[in-house]
Structure 1
Amino acid sequence: CLSEVATNDDVELLKGYVIDTRASASSRVAAAKGLANAVDTSSLELASSLVADGSPDPVTGLVVGWLIRNPPEDGNLEQQAAIARALIDQDGPTSILAARAWLSWDTEKALAVGDVLMKHAESDVRLAFAEKLSVNINEARVNELVDMLDDVDPRNRKQIRIWLEAACENETLAPIVRERVISLIASVSKDNWWIGEQAIYLAAKLDEKSITPNLVKFLSGTRPELFVTAAWALRKLDDREQLPQVLAYCTKWAPHFPKEELPRDIEHEINEQMAHLFQWFGIAKYAEATKVLETFVKKNGNVRFRIRASATWAMAQILEGDSDNQRWIKILVDRLNDDAPMPPESPLVKRMAVIALAKMGVDDDKIERNIRELQVSTPEYSVLKDGCHWALNKLYGDPIPPTSDQLVDSGPWLLEPLEDRTRQR
């Protein structure tokens, strides 16, 4: 309240709270915030006095951090920057507050001490520094930003990658980022796996196919952040020279799924990896993968339905236009009608099966009745409903009903990582 009035008496009262070490920490910090909002030219003088004796205690550090939040009214950046620089060496919130303040009103000089800020113990200090690099980007700073993909905090690494993606919109900076991420990916090992995750993502966004041999090697790693991202990138980059090696990898792992022999600690992630690779087989219409894909299309209670759905989707692409393939028609119709109680077929697998029949162009009266009955009996919220709509439109020109604004839980992501665990139908 006092900071809203900001008369001279109010300011003096706030200063009294700030320097009173007997007052509660919350009162002193609130008073410092008030002084910062009051924009009083003596705040810098007060801040200097509080740090004159050396390293302040944590509460005093926070107080001073708030006092120097705004640029000095008298333009004395040098004195205020010296205070901020001293506070940055503190631990915890004090250093974060000081770094953000300094970066906001003395950006160029603050960025010049990147060797301190980019290696700071506090994750938020490093992130604040990276953000200012991204806002004030140039050729030198984009290199510093790439260096920070090595940050120990995964939240920071992801955000830095997003800023680097934006930097790649600049035709001068994109080649620098491209060259750096290629080098980073080549340097990845089991001891520095975290560098690779976001570097791979950037390389894929830049359509850098030269990294695909490295990606194939990463498939056999033990860190999901690396081997799942590598599979995603192989699908995105679609370098078909790597298909035989990837098929060999999938063929090696395939027998372990029904036997439940996957490593327990990364079982789910291996399923996600395979889902990406199977989809790539479909995108490439890679018929050589049919044998391994078929083993996943057929139901097995030990194999997760999402990887089976991805295999079925891949076969839909490979079989497109093959309307006389009676063997596969039977396999897909069996999936569509499998309502056995232990357990019944997954609606997602059924959805992919009905899509596959439509892409094959199967025009059969019995199968048409089958799909129409499913269309009517399937609940509106089920993913199979959409599949039936699409198949009947593809085969017979039936109009697809308008979508609703119902939010449907997407569950764990199958083929794309989702920021939001819902999708709009």
Structure 2
Amino acid sequence: MVRPLPIRSAARVMTLAFVVACLAASCLVTFAESSALDALRESDPALSYPVAQYAIDPAQKQLWLSALDSPEVDMQRMAAETIARSQEVNGSNLVEAVPSLERILEAKASHPAARFAAARALVVLNSRDSSGKLLEASKSYGSDLRLLIEPTLAEWDYEPARSVWLGRLSEQASRRRELILAVRGLGVVREQKALNPLLEIINDSRRHPDVRFEAATAVGQISATGLETQADKLARSPGTPTSLNRLCAIQMLLTHETAAAAQLLSAWATDDEPLIAATAMRRLNALDSALMLSLAEMALRHPDARIRSEGIESCITHPTTDKTGALGRLLADPDPALREKTREGLLRLSSVAELKPVVNDVVKGHLQSDDWKGQEQAAILAGGIDLEEVANRLVELLESPRVEVKSASAWALRKVAVKETIPAILQIAKNQTELRKAGTGTVVDEQVAHLLETLGVLKATEAIPLLKEYIPKHYPMGVQSRSAAIWALGVMPREEADAELEDALMDRILDFADRPPEMPEVKQMSAISLARMKSTSQAERLRGLAVNVPLSVELGVALRWAVKELTGEELPPPTPVPVPAEDWFLVPLQ
């Protein structure tokens, strides 16, 4: 019969699981959504746009200040919250509110909600002169305030807070949450007096796992030398749970840069527990990624994504031909973040003369494979390194069943820009266009847009009739494709003016119908292309629109650029539309 864990033991196991989960998340490599497949029309020509400002009426600020002095709790709370928000969104810097906020913070009669809002506003306003009052309030008015205030006092390195945190380390009755606050604060300010008490916490198996882990992290921040022996002893300790001991040992060496620390980390990097191995590898890479070289091949093949990520890091930082080839396998990694990290690394390595052939072979190998993940990344990489010899394979991949490969291949064809691909690209674009017009089949708007831009880059004048089909306002043709087609028309060489084309583009700019409205991107590209076509006959109409008609900032900038290109006249920049302030608390009557 399996006996249930005692309540205290069960709680500790759950807490350890939480520590492990948090550390695991910190080990993962995160990336923003890839912007590799850029659209040329977004950067050619390079336009700059005035930034909109949040509109806050000075009279409105006065209302907020008055509301702080109101006896109504909700008025105080909402005014404090609004002052904090206004600082966050546009840096209003309402320092004149500080005295009233401090009054609410200190008054015994203040409602907890108003006091918390006032404290947060002082924090957001970076009112360091209020540090003493914030500390006293945190000691007197509950843990919610301490959770808000103490991390800020640590960031500001407010000296008197250190004694509060040191005292809490020795208090047996300290709540776990507030003990962790103290530990973190002492770690941030690197308080040397905390070192021995924190070491006692780390080595006390009766303590909660998360408290021990936080203490180990703080110790690693405070001390950069001399903890190797203690960390090794802790890692070897048979105390339960042993995995926590090893995690704490690694954290203790967070800022150690000694050979002894590197030796310990290298041993832990081969741990059977993936989280421990990944954490040790991450520290090794931060210390000196050359220390990871002997482990890199193993790491690249490991089933755990965190460990593979550390192997990638080492291979990119200290590349060799063999390791670059091994790294190339991860272009088809199951983890999308690691695929992107690998691709970016190989792009960097391609600039090294002796590694360029290896990178080229990696690209060609993946393009010929049947794995869509590798095909996608290899196509993007081929475009990044301008590998013209794979152009025919990229054309073949335009018919891939995977959307990702379709778009990546089309984008790469624009980057390599091989004239011999024009007939095939034009035929595929025509096929996609017919499917759109017939309303049958699946058409990828992004892919077609890249293909149409490619035809423009290659100056494929035979594509002009096709490009013109995308001018009329027909939404199934896709806004990306229509914008790309109009941009491509603007860069095409021409021997004589095409008045009908120019009128059609002007009609797009002038289309302000409500149902359905013309898309802003189409209007913008139309203005740019008219300028590139040297359509001087449309210059006055473009100028009139720019000067006299309320337009979006984007279209206003495009029109001004077009007028300057056609006439040389530089119009004043458009005024950005202020962001409405209708949702602010307390708006003055107009």
TM-score range, shorter chain: 0.7 to 0.9
Question: How big is each residue's C-alpha offset from its partner over 1:283-316, in whole Å with a ceiling of 9 and x where there is no partner?
Answer: 2221222232222111113333332121112222
1:62 to 247, 253, 257: 247
Q: Pick closer, same or farther for the CA change 1:122–1:406 going to 2, 3 Å.
A: farther
Q: Pick closer, same or farther for the CA change 1:122–1:396 going to 2, 3 Å.
A: same
Partner of 2:479: 305
Q: Distance in 2 between matches of 1:70 and 1:254?
A: 59
Q: Distance in 2 between matches of 1:43 and 1:225?
A: 48
Partner of 1:358: 531
Partner of 2:512: 339
The Cα of 1:111 is off from its aligned counterpart by 1.9
Give the secondary-structure state (helix, strand or coil) at the position aligned to 2:206. coil
Q: Distance in 2 between matches of 1:195 and 1:83?
A: 32
Give the secondary-structure state (helix, strand or coil) at the position aligned to 2:270. helix
Partner of 2:392: 213
Q: Distance in 2 between matches of 1:55 and 1:125?
A: 25
Whether contact under 8 Å (1:14, 1:31) holds in the other structure is yes
The Cα of 1:405 is off from its aligned counterpart by 9.2
1:370 to 541, 553, 558: 541
Whether contact under 8 Å (1:44, 1:68) holds in the other structure is no
Whether contact under 8 Å (1:333, 1:353) holds in the other structure is yes
Q: Does 1:33 align with 2:33?
A: no
Whether contact under 8 Å (2:312, 2:327) holds in the other structure is yes
Whether contact under 8 Å (2:560, 2:573) holds in the other structure is no
Q: Pick closer, same or farther for the CA change 1:115–1:407 going to 2, 3 Å.
A: farther
Q: Pick closer, same or farther for the CA change 1:355–1:76 going to 2, 3 Å.
A: closer
Q: Distance in 2 between matches of 1:99 and 1:70?
A: 14
| Structure 2 counterparts to residues 2-17 of structure 1, below 5 A | 4=190, 6=192, 13-17=197-201
Q: Pick closer, same or farther for the CA change 1:63–1:406 going to 2, 3 Å.
A: farther
Q: Distance in 2 between matches of 1:334 and 1:80?
A: 68
Partner of 2:345: 163
Q: Percent identity between the aligned chains?
A: 25
Structure 2: unaligned runs, 5 residues or longer = 1-165, 167-185, 580-590
Partner of 1:85: 270
Whether contact under 8 Å (1:358, 1:394) holds in the other structure is yes
Q: Pick closer, same or farther for the CA change 1:403–1:121 going to 2, 3 Å.
A: farther
Whether contact under 8 Å (1:320, 1:359) holds in the other structure is no
The Cα of 1:24 is off from its aligned counterpart by 1.1
Q: Distance in 2 between matches of 1:81 and 1:49?
A: 16
Q: Given residue 371 of structure 1, which amino acid in structure 2 is its aligned partner?
A: L
The Cα of 1:162 is off from its aligned counterpart by 2.1
Q: Distance in 2 between matches of 1:359 and 1:106?
A: 52
Question: How big is each residue's C-alpha offset from its partner over 1:156-189, in whole Å with a ceiling of 9 and x where there is no partner?
Answer: 22222222222222222223222322222222x2
Whether contact under 8 Å (1:320, 1:356) holds in the other structure is no
Q: Distance in 2 between matches of 1:385 and 1:333?
A: 15
Whether contact under 8 Å (2:202, 2:213) holds in the other structure is yes
Q: Distance in 1 between matches of 2:549 and 2:201?
A: 67
Q: How many residues align?
A: 392
2:378 to 180, 183, 199: 199
Q: Pick closer, same or farther for the CA change 1:25–1:79 going to 2, 3 Å.
A: closer
The Cα of 1:215 is off from its aligned counterpart by 0.8
Give the secondary-structure state (helix, strand or coil) at the position aligned to 2:411. helix
| Structure 2 counterparts to residues 143-182 of structure 1, below 5 A | 143-182=325-364
Q: Given residue 333 of structure 2, which amino acid in structure 1 is its aligned partner?
A: D
Q: Distance in 2 between matches of 1:149 and 1:20?
A: 45
1:395 to 566, 571, 586: 566
Partner of 2:112: none
Whether contact under 8 Å (1:146, 1:180) holds in the other structure is yes
Give the secondary-structure state (helix, strand or coil) at the position aligned to 2:374. helix
Q: Pick closer, same or farther for the CA change 1:361–1:78 going to 2, 3 Å.
A: closer
Q: Distance in 2 between matches of 1:28 and 1:241?
A: 65
Q: Given residue 452 of structure 2, which amino acid in structure 1 is its aligned partner?
A: F
Structure 1: unaligned runs, 5 residues or longer = 409-425
| Structure 2 counterparts to residues 272-311 of structure 1, below 5 A | 272-311=446-485
Q: Distance in 2 between matches of 1:55 and 1:255?
A: 68
1:137 to 303, 319, 329: 319
Q: Distance in 2 between matches of 1:134 and 1:116?
A: 15
Whether contact under 8 Å (1:283, 1:317) holds in the other structure is yes
Partner of 1:418: none
Q: Given residue 298 of structure 1, which amino acid in structure 2 is its aligned partner?
A: P
Moved more, 143-152 or 67-76: 67-76
The Cα of 1:244 is off from its aligned counterpart by 0.8
Partner of 2:111: none
Q: Pick closer, same or farther for the CA change 1:55–1:101 going to 2, 3 Å.
A: farther
| TM-score (norm. length: structure 1) | 0.80
Moved more, 29-38 or 75-84: 75-84
Q: Distance in 2 between matches of 1:368 and 1:107?
A: 59
Question: How big is each residue's C-alpha offset from its partner over 1:87-122, in whole Å with a ceiling of 9 and x where there is no partner?
Answer: xx2143x33212223445575553212233113343
The Cα of 1:278 is off from its aligned counterpart by 0.8
Larger Rg: 2
Q: Distance in 1 between matches of 2:268 and 2:533?
A: 71
1:254 to 414, 433, 458: 433
Whether contact under 8 Å (1:313, 1:352) holds in the other structure is yes
Give the secondary-structure state (helix, strand or coil) at the position aligned to 1:296. coil
Q: Pick closer, same or farther for the CA change 1:220–1:379 going to 2, 3 Å.
A: farther
Give the secondary-structure state (helix, strand or coil) at the position aligned to 2:354. coil
Moved more, 354-363 or 47-56: 47-56
The Cα of 1:212 is off from its aligned counterpart by 0.8
| TM-score (norm. length: structure 2) | 0.59
Ranked by relative contact order (alpha carbons within 8 Å, sequence separation 6 or more), the top structure is: 2
Q: Given residue 65 of structure 1, which amino acid in structure 2 is its aligned partner?
A: I
- Coordinate RMSD, CA, aligned: 3.2
Question: How big is each residue's C-alpha offset from its partner over 1:204-245, in whole Å with a ceiling of 9 and x where there is no partner?
Answer: 222211111111111122333321111111111111111111
Q: Pick closer, same or farther for the CA change 1:400–1:240 going to 2, 3 Å.
A: farther
Moved more, 380-389 or 276-285: 380-389
Q: Distance in 1 between matches of 2:285 and 2:523?
A: 55
Q: Pick closer, same or farther for the CA change 1:334–1:216 going to 2, 3 Å.
A: same
Q: Pick closer, same or farther for the CA change 1:283–1:20 going to 2, 3 Å.
A: same
Q: Distance in 2 between matches of 1:309 and 1:350?
A: 8
Q: Pick closer, same or farther for the CA change 1:47–1:374 going to 2, 3 Å.
A: same
